[in-house]
Amino acid sequence: MAKKKKSAGNTSGAASKASKVIVWVVLAIILLVVALVLINNYTGSSSDEAQDIDYSSQPFLGDENAPVKIVEFGDYKCIHCQEFHHNNFPVIDQELIETGKASFYFMNMPVINADSEKGAEFSEAVYQVLGDDGFWKFHDVLFAEDLNTSFTDDFLMDKLREVVSDEEAEEVLQVYQNNGTDDAVSIDTELADDLGVQGTPTIFVNGKLFEGQDMNDLIDMVDEETQEAN
């Protein structure tokens, strides 16, 4: 009889342990589900859900009425932005902009250093004075430079004079030195913050975060957006 009572005690203890294990498993599952829901709520607005982007007063290339709008958030001191400009943008230009599938916008997100801010402010001054044509010319020559070069006023002016007249460059300098572009840069950076941009370059396609691996993925995303627009 003593042995039977001992056995019953072991059975009761085992059952208690099993119940505790089940409780912990259930709690773990609940916590996992909650975590997945929170993660989904945080990231669900990235590539799946279009965000509102104000494209007005922003430099762009291509047909303004194109069915797809591509936005790059970039920094003139960012090596990955420079690589994107040299290696990937030509594909975007040829395959998407020139074909009328998409228009392309550049918005400033200066994050590297003080020269990043200078480059952003000066480029906005160029856009304010000279419009899209002057902006993209300056954009190209600035990204062609060694990233270790300091963005002094003289350097920025020398780069600008490579693509515009001295008179036009002086107009730009006046706007820049009078802090006439602070608001424009702030608009870009505040938008980047609202969109959850974490680094540069970051690409959006019709307000949706591009998370693909290469240009083929980007072209596919543009094609999908074109079909939805039609």
Q: How many domains does the chain have?
A: 2
Pairwise pLDDT comparison (30 vs 195), residue with the higher score: 195
pLDDT tens per residue, range 20-43 = 657 566 566 666 544 443 334 333
Task: State the CATH number of the domain containing residue 178.
Answer: 3.40.30.10
Average confidence (pLDDT) over 66-88: 98
Containing structural domain, residue 194: 60-229
136's CB contacts (< 8 A; 6+ apart) are 59, 61
| pLDDT at residue 173, rounded to an integer | 98
The backbone torsions φ and ψ at residue 208, rounded to the nearest 5 degrees and listed phi first, read -105, 135
| pLDDT at residue 229, rounded to an integer | 81
Are 35 and 78 found together in one domain? no
| pLDDT at residue 18, rounded to an integer | 59
- 122 located within any domain: yes
Residue with tokens 């591009």: 210
Are 197 and 83 found together in one domain? yes
pTM: 0.79
| pLDDT at residue 22, rounded to an integer | 72
pLDDT of residue 153 exceeding 90, the answer is yes
Are 210 and 147 found together in one domain? yes
Q: Is the peptide bond before 90 cis (omega within 30 degrees of 0)?
A: no
Are 90 and 11 found together in one domain? no
Are 67 and 27 found together in one domain? no
Percent above pLDDT 70 for the chain: 80
